[in-house]
Amino acid sequence: MLNSREIFLKGFGRHEDLNVIGKGLNLPFLVKDYELMKWVGANSFRTSHYPYSEEALQMADRRGFMVIDEAAANTLSMHAVKNSKDRDKLSLNHKRHVEELIQRDYNHPSVVIWSLGNECETYVESGKGYFREIVAHAKGLDASRPVTFVIDSSPETELEADSFDVICFNDYPSWYVNCSHYEKIGEMLRPKIEGFWKKYGKPIIISEFGADTIPGLHSEYNLMWSEEFQVEMLKRVLAVAGEYPYVAGAHIWNFADFKVGQHTTRVTLNWKGLFTRERHPKLAAHEIRKLWRSK
């Protein structure tokens, strides 16, 4: 609810990344990014996967964006902290970081949810209790906002989400699973949505979904990496999300292409952006704009 009216979170996961400077803050492009998000019809975003600059939140306040503010706890491994000493050290650092995040951003009206981490091992038996302890710590610092972890588990494997206020999950149907078969998106996504609702009865946000897309690559059939495939995949996921009144939002991954480390599974960039790294719109930006601005 926003000002006592029901609202659906439309927007993106983002990165503070730019071809001009790399990872960091560029004030003119900060303005550009907000203009593009307004243009496409978004009303929200997540600071994936770390706190963004204070200027970014100040701009969100001014422009009326809702922000899921995320701590820098990305893919924490419970397998790596099996002994109590290591786990206690991790927990202490995690709580300290959450304190710093909430202390800095508490008074920003744009911040609507605290996310305490992304794709951490909330489904590992040895981690049971760790994440709910971090959630309780955050709630002790701010009882006025929902708290969550963004998860990549399934309803069958998830162990900690009963302590979250919102279920945020990442999923890439027809990209990493059943590659190219976007006609199977519904049968892959619906059981997950319905399973989380049945298990927890809490609002759901699909916090990541998308397809790598090479600008200028086109095809008349469902060819992965083409601009047409990205459009079809995103529209189908959004259509499924719209079937459920308890799905409270959907964030496309990603707002813009961004630089990644060198390895064999990426070619220089993560290409899942609706915009290029230089902020030029792909076909999907125009198509999602038609969808979001019509509602």
Q: What is the CB neighbour count within 10 angstroms for residue 25?
A: 14
Residue 160 known to be catalytic: no
Beta-ladder partners of 11: 44, 251
Q: Is the dihedral of CA 179, 76, 53, 22 positive or negative?
A: negative
Give the active site residue among 119, 208, 232, 287: 119
Label residue 252 exposed, middle or buried (CB < 10 Å: 0-12, 13-18, 19+): buried
CB 229 within 8 A of CB 223: yes
Instruction: Bin 239: left if φ > 0, else alpha if -120 < ψ < 50, else beta.
Output: alpha
From residue 13, give the alpha-carbon distance in Å to each of 200, 211, 250.
24, 13, 10
Q: What is the set of active-site residues?
A: 119
